[in-house]
Structure 1
Amino acid sequence: MTKTILAAATAALLASSAAYAADAYQPEPQPVYVDAPEVAVAEASGWYLRGDLGYSFNKLRGADYFQGSNATKVDFATSSIKDSFWLGGGVGYQMNNYLRSDLTFDYLFDSDFTGSTRGSCGVSTACTSRDLTTMRAYTLMANAYIDLGTYAYFTPYIGGGIGGSYVKWDKLRNTSCANSNPSSCDATVEHEGKGSWRFAYQLMAGASIDVTCNVKADVGYRFRHTAGGDMFGYALNGGPGYDKGFTSHSLHAGARYVFGGCETPVAYEPPPELPVYK
């Protein structure tokens, strides 16, 4: 009887120990993995205003005129224009990080012209003239640019544009003097200055510099070709005259103001809570 009671007690103790062990053991929960949110790369876009000031190294491609009658057209013996400053502005749109375009208008300040022609004064006296006038130009251009990536605060770019220039010439003052006696000169003749619209194109290269999130400085180089056109009118058996166009190499500095260039702060989101193991 005693053995039976002892065996029953032992069995009950083992069963309760096994039950306690089963209750006490809890497998470690698996950590919760949360996928990182996708981060979209923001692309710069939006409207901007620009302003530029530059210095242009100008080269006239020549000039010609009708001499004596409209049947005889001859070239100027010499012709050149001076360098000058230019001022411009425009509005543009940044399409993405690599492509933008703008419409610009600029004014080329007075560029002095000096030329000479050779012919006859009176009946048979050979003479040389000295011709003086001034040119200015107003140019409207549609441009496109490729930004070549941003390095720290610098973004180099290349670009090109097409448009038109209104070139305006002042009165041409022509004074002819005898070759044999340069002090013997005819009275100065004035030819009415002409103006005309011409085709123009340009190529650019430079870099923009981030000053603030809205303001970018811009420094660069520009090559422009302007077609020829009317230069001066007829007076005393001379004219009209035409210039053959000109090219210009210019350096400029300016700035662009970008609307909405500053990023909007993102609301803070706390990270997901991790499981706590006890």
Structure 2
Amino acid sequence: MFANKAVFAAVIACCAAPAFAADIVEPVPVVEPAPVYQAQEFGGWYIRGDLDYHKPDFRGADYITYGTPPGTKSFDSGDLRGAFSLGGGVGYQMTSYLRTDLTVDYWFKSKFTGHTSCDNCASTDTSKMSALLLLANAYVDLGTWNGFTPYVGAGIGGARVKWDDLHNVIDSDDTIHKGTSNWRFAYALMAGASYCLTNNLAFDAGYRFSHINGGRMFQFNGAGPGFDKGFNTHEVRGGLRYSFGGGANGCYQPPVVAYEPPEPLYTK
């Protein structure tokens, strides 16, 4: 009798075990979302300030004469010394490789020395030239390596050229021709590199070639007026660019997020 009861109890236990096991819920791991890294931003406004040293290449000048017969004569020679300039501008970073800006530069006075001659005379001519250069520029940034971003660019605009009075000296006779000022077409080509100082501030250094068309140089006084043939100018430039948003200088770096996998959490 006892053996039969033991066998019956074992059978009941074996049948009940699966039923109790069905009531146990397997733990479900809770997976934390992957960290989100901030992407690099573009489309930022920036301002710039520049200092440069420029050397204009005087391309010659002509002036009207009223002898017999009247005509036009040219300067035998002419030279403009180098000078400094200050500039500023505002720009916009359109993509990681393309940006544009508007710049204005004031060229301080360059001293001019020239020579003219006639049948029985020779003169030394002196004056000074300054200019205000306005350009709309576009640049291609060629990528950033260790904080350095090389670039190439071009600009187009105009220049207001101002000539001081021209002193035409023959022996001890000084004839003064009144200088003029006028607007002229100008363009520029540039190449350089910037270096990231901070996420928003970059140092910019480079070379710019600029061309200014010719125009009136001085007024009539016995001879004249005179017209210069324009300038090709070589500029060495340096300055700072400050951006008001990440990426405008190519300097923005996404924040470093330290990520450690969380301990798994379970629910019943």
Give the TM-score normalised by the residue count of structure 1.
0.82
Q: 5+ unaligned residues in a row in structure 1: which ranges?
A: 121-125, 177-184
Q: Distance in 2 between matches of 1:41 and 1:150?
A: 16
Q: 1:249 aligns with which of 234, 237, 259?
A: 234
Q: Which residue matches 1:6?
A: 3
TM-aligned CA deviation for residue 91 of structure 1: 1.3
User: Identity across aligned pairs (percent)?
Assistant: 48
AA partner of residue 274 (structure 1): P
Q: 2:219 aligns with which of 218, 233, 238?
A: 233
Q: Which residue matches 2:204?
A: 218
SS of residue in 2 equivalent to 1:188? strand
AA partner of residue 80 (structure 1): D
Q: 5+ unaligned residues in a row in structure 2: which ranges?
A: 247-251
Q: 1:42-121 residue pairs with structure 2 within 5 A?
A: 42-68=40-66, 71-120=70-119
TM-aligned CA deviation for residue 96 of structure 1: 2.7
Q: Distance in 2 between matches of 1:200 and 1:16?
A: 101
How many aligned positions are there?
Answer: 261
Root-mean-square deviation (CA, aligned residues, Å) is: 3.1
TM-aligned CA deviation for residue 12 of structure 1: 3.0
Cα contact 2:55–2:80 (8 A) shared by 1: no
- Structure number with greater Rg is 1
Cα contact 1:43–1:96 (8 A) shared by 2: no
Q: Distance in 1 between matches of 2:205 and 2:129?
A: 26
* Higher mean C-alpha deviation, range 209-218 or range 21-30: 21-30
* Higher mean C-alpha deviation, range 42-51 or range 260-269: 260-269
Q: Which residue matches 1:179?
A: none
Q: Distance in 2 between matches of 1:71 and 1:196?
A: 26
Q: Distance in 2 between matches of 1:156 and 1:14?
A: 85
For the structure 1 residues 110 and 54, does the alpha-carbon distance in structure 2 shift closer, same or farther, using more than 3 Å as the test? same
Q: Distance in 1 between matches of 2:144 and 2:20?
A: 63
Q: Distance in 2 between matches of 1:33 and 1:186?
A: 96
Higher relative contact order, chain-length normalized (CA < 8 Å, sep 6+): 2
Q: Which residue matches 1:166?
A: 160
AA partner of residue 112 (structure 1): K
Give the TM-score normalised by the residue count of structure 2.
0.85
Q: Distance in 1 between matches of 2:195 and 2:71?
A: 55
Q: Distance in 2 between matches of 1:116 and 1:59?
A: 16
